[in-house]
């Protein structure tokens, strides 16, 4: 059974930092691109960042570029999000989500959907 | 990239069908067959219901179906059941290698 378990959320003051973690199990973590998706209270889903299976490709939403850093440790089956210079508008539940992949003739590439999600961790930025 | 447009809410009685629309542009929904749909119950994580416009993951009831016409994708729930009451979000690839997709604004489905 695939499991994604986030941790590290909490209350932080504006300008502060927080590091989120996502522990993966039940699938070959090192073969899949991973993502962080957030949801502000009472709002919709917003893609935040993605990282390819080997960390070669990393992308961010404009809203967090320069402040957030995504990383992964395939040996530990773990995904991370380092969040610096936090703002009130970063308050949200942060989900880690795996990105499916297509494989043809031994070549694999990321699909454009998120097949498994963690339960989320709440980040509150407030003074 | 702007969020895709969904109705705020739709409702139906048990056993009826409801359809949720997801409107984008030719640069996202209309340009690619990469629309996915997610169901989210209150306080829970999103769950994949449809991918690549109309494909259902294993375990998702066949009451859920997806389609697309032009710049608008749709999710139809046939034979509505009480447990289908939830928020639903569409998501579409938008042609940029730097992002897997843009989400819709979300729709609350109420079972009367």
Distances in Å between the Cα of B12 and the Cα atoms of B20, B21, B27, B84 are: 12, 15, 32, 10
A103: phi > 0 → left, psi -120 to 50 → alpha, else beta; which? beta
When CB atoms are compared, the residue of A46, A111, A117 closest to B45 is A117
pLDDT one-digit tens code per residue, A5-39: 999 999 999 999 999 999 999 999 999 999 999 99
Q: What is the largest CA-CA distance in chain B?
A: 42
When CB atoms are compared, the residue of A112, A115, A119 closest to B57 is A115
How close is the nearest chain A Cα to the Cα of B87, in Å? 9
Q: Residue A47 and residue B99: Cβ atoms within 8 Å?
A: yes
Distances in Å between the Cα of B33 and the Cα atoms of A17, B17, B36, B70, B96 are: 39, 24, 9, 11, 14
Q: Residue B51 and residue A44: Cβ atoms within 8 Å?
A: no
Q: Residue B100 and residue A110: Cβ atoms within 8 Å?
A: yes
Q: In chain B, whose CA is at the least distance from the CA of A57?
A: B98
Q: Residue A112 and residue B89: Cβ atoms within 8 Å?
A: no
pLDDT one-digit tens code per residue, B39-90: 999 999 999 999 999 999 999 999 999 999 999 999 999 999 999 999 999 9
């Amino acid at each position: 059974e695939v499991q994604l378990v986030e941790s590290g959320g909490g209350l932080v003051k504006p300008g502060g930092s927080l590091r989120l973690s996502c522990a993966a199990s039940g699938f070959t973590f090192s073969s899949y691109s991973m993502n962080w998706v957030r949801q502000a209270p009472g709002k919709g889903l917003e893609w935040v960042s993605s990282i390819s299976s080997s960390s070669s490709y990393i992308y961010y939403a404009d809203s967090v570029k320069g402040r957030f850093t995504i990383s992964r440790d395939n040996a530990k089956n773990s995904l991370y999000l380092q969040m610096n210079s936090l703002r009130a508008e970063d308050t949200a539940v942060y989900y880690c989500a795996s990105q499916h992949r297509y494989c043809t003739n031994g070549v694999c590439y990321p699909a454009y959907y998120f097949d498994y999600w963690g339960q989320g961790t709440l980040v509150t930025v407030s003074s | 990239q702007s969020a895709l447009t969904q109705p705020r809410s739709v409702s139906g009685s048990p056993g009826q069908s409801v359809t949720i629309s997801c409107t984008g542009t030719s640069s996202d929904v209309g340009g690619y067959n990469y629309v996915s749909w997610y169901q989210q119950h209150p306080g829970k994580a999103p769950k994949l219901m449809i991918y690549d416009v109309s494909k259902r993951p294993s375990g998702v009831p066949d009451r859920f179906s997806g389609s697309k016409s032009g710049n608008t994708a749709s999710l139809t729930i046939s034979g509505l059941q009480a447990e289908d009451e939830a928020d639903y979000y569409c998501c579409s690839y938008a042609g940029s290698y730097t992002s897997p997709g843009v989400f819709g604004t979300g729709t609350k489905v109420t079972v009367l």
